[in-house]
Amino acid sequence: MTAQPPSAQRPPESAPPPDAPRYLTGFGNHLASEAVPGALPPRQNGPREVPFGLYAEQINGTGFTVHRAHNLRTWLYRLRPQVSAQPFVAIDGPPRFVGRFGPDVGVASPEPQRYRPAPLPGEGVDLLAGVQTFAGAGDPAVKRGVAFHLFAATADMTRVFCNIDGDLLIAPHQGTLQVQTELGWLHVAPTELALIPRGLRFRVLLPDGRAQGFMAELFDGHFQLPERGPVGANGLADERHFKAPVAWYEDRATPTDVVVKQGGRFWQTTLSHSPFDVVAWHGRYVPFKYDLRDFNSFGSVSWDHPDPSLLTVLTSPMDTHGRNAVDVAAFVGRWDVTEDTFRPPFFHRNAAVEFNMVLQSPTQGGAYPTGAFSFTPYLTPHGVSARGYEAAVHNPAAVENRPVRGSDRSVWLQFESTYALAVMPWFFDARDSDFLAGFSGFSVGALGQGPARDPHDAP
């Protein structure tokens, strides 16, 4: 009997979910993967008959006519079209997952704030239900703004989520996330990041039974690697350390709920099948994971503390004037070798907000255990506490100009944005009341000991 051509065959059954998935590497690369050999059309994107009778579907993350270097699109080859035969119905989303930020949403206070780790919820809360917005600005309907969230989950997602409003960057600090995407699996452990482009469908499983972490939601554009500028050709986050999934599919004809966030509102439809039925794909619009411990830190080797922009992992520029919708910075173990320098960050006021998170701490006590976080509003004075200042000035290593190694067991993440974010009231009302007390007790400089004098008087 003559064998049927690939276009008339059905692909074989999919493999079980991988315990240790394989990955493709290279942020920004044009990647290709097929779970079944021959499923990827070798020449055309949309042939009249796709191999194995699959359906071709393109997802675009940018406009059709942008410069080729900025064009983001992926072709998917799947068992069934993803067009839903059921209508979308508006639903109530998670009560604290805020989607739009008007003038009356949140507290726009100039007070620097610190927060203790958030508690885990009760049983049966999946990651989507466990999202709580910390702060945000803007409107996804006009593709301007950013939001920072916390998440806490104690159950696997049985429903599927699709965020059309923005790219999601997910950073767990407790529990590994098994992220099932249309393009394949990502396993994301604490100190790693998951990047899910807008419009891609995914769900999150919890092999450890619970997980907590932080999220950045970007309404503007997409995350990209920062330019290195004078740093040169190497260093910071390297493209090859970003890992994309390999194709994996399931042929499951059971009803599946899909929740979509668009325009700040939540909608739901029910598919007659699993949306994770992509047998092959190729393109540049793909999810990634990244291990912050792969970040190659740069810093000063003479004097003065460098700006934290030198530690940027990912960014999303708003314009050519240095204003960024969001910067993602990593603070991992590294050497500090500056001489005659105040080694913690100096007192400063930035034209940006700062959201600092502890993903890993060598101790569960103290002011900054794993899961703690802080927020500094736009152009608000901040720096180290009085006690920290004295310790830094009189540190023997600083006095003797000895190199100092930052803790390799400490991993901090920072989201920085030029948007003046407002903090949601359920967090603002729970800020750490002990935080501001640390900024009292600074000694007065020598010139401040006597009465004030007229600057025009002779010394």
Q: What is the CATH number of the domain that holds 351?
A: 2.60.120.10
CA distances from 32 to 18, 28, 278, 284 (A): 19, 12, 12, 9
The pLDDT assigned to 1 comes to: 42
Q: Cβ(123)–Cβ(223) under 8 Å?
A: no
The pLDDT assigned to 20 comes to: 83
Percent of the chain with pLDDT strictly greater than 70: 95
pLDDT grade for 3, boundaries at 50, 70 and 90: very low
Instruction: Just list the catalytic residues.
Output: 305
46 belongs to a structural domain = yes
- pLDDT tens for 137-146 read 999 999 999 9
Domain boundary among 292, 324, 350: 292
363 and 351 together in one domain: yes
The pLDDT assigned to 346 comes to: 84
312-317 and 201-205 beta bridge pairing: unpaired
- pLDDT tens for 193-230 read 999 999 999 999 999 999 999 999 999 999 999 999 98
The pLDDT assigned to 451 comes to: 60
pLDDT at 2 over 90: no
Least-confidence region, from 94-98, 326-330, 390-394? 390-394
The pLDDT assigned to 127 comes to: 98
200 belongs to a structural domain = yes
63 and 207 together in one domain: yes
300 and 286 together in one domain: no
* Over residues 30-46, mean pLDDT: 96
CA distance 141 to 165: 7
**Of 214, 279, 293, 290, residue with least CA distance to 250:** 279
pLDDT at 15 over 80: no
267 and 365 together in one domain: no
> Which tops the pLDDT comparison, 147 or 102?
147
307 and 220 together in one domain: no
pLDDT at 287 over 90: yes
CA distance 249 to 184: 7
Percent of the chain with pLDDT strictly greater than 90: 75
274 Cβ contact partners less than 8 Å away, ≥ 6 residues apart: 250, 251, 252, 253, 254, 256
Domain boundary among 292, 309, 333: 292
4 belongs to a structural domain = no
3-state secondary structure of 256: strand
* Over residues 433-449, mean pLDDT: 84
431 belongs to a structural domain = yes
6 belongs to a structural domain = no
pLDDT grade for 6, boundaries at 50, 70 and 90: low
Furthest CA-CA distance within the chain = 109
CA distance 188 to 212: 12
215 and 93 together in one domain: yes
CA distance 99 to 131: 11
Structural domain count of the chain: 2
pLDDT grade for 106, boundaries at 50, 70 and 90: very high
Which tokens is 302 given?
Answer: 């003479």
Residue range(s) defining the domain that contains residue 200: 16-292
pTM of the predicted model, to two decimals? 0.93
For every residue of 200-245, DSSP letters joined together read -EEEEE-TTS-EEEEEEEE-SS--BPPP-GGG-SS-BS-GGG-EEE
The pLDDT assigned to 393 comes to: 87
The pLDDT assigned to 308 comes to: 84
84 and 40 together in one domain: yes
21 and 139 together in one domain: yes
227 and 107 together in one domain: yes
- pLDDT tens for 348-384 read 899 999 999 999 999 887 889 999 999 999 999 998 8
For the chain, give the mean pLDDT. Answer: 92
328 and 375 together in one domain: yes
Least-confidence region, from 52-61, 358-367, 425-434? 358-367
73 and 159 together in one domain: yes
CA distance 8 to 54: 9
**φ, ψ for residue 55, nearest 5 deg:** -110, 135
**φ, ψ for residue 53, nearest 5 deg:** 70, 25
> Which tops the pLDDT comparison, 8 or 312?
312
pLDDT grade for 5, boundaries at 50, 70 and 90: low
pLDDT at 34 over 70: yes
pLDDT at 279 over 80: yes
pLDDT at 328 over 80: yes
457 belongs to a structural domain = no
256-262 and 160-163 beta bridge pairing: parallel
379 and 248 together in one domain: no
* Over residues 301-321, mean pLDDT: 89
389 belongs to a structural domain = yes
459 belongs to a structural domain = no
Domain boundary among 259, 292, 325: 292
For every residue of 314-383, DSSP letters joined together read EEEE-SSSS-EEEEEEEE-S-EE--SS---SPPSB--SSEEEEEEEE-S-SSSSS-TT-EEEE-TT--B-
131-139 and 144-153 beta bridge pairing: antiparallel
Beta bridge partner(s), residue 267 = 90, 260
Least-confidence region, from 216-225, 229-238, 440-449? 440-449
The pLDDT assigned to 234 comes to: 95
> Which tops the pLDDT comparison, 6 or 120?
120
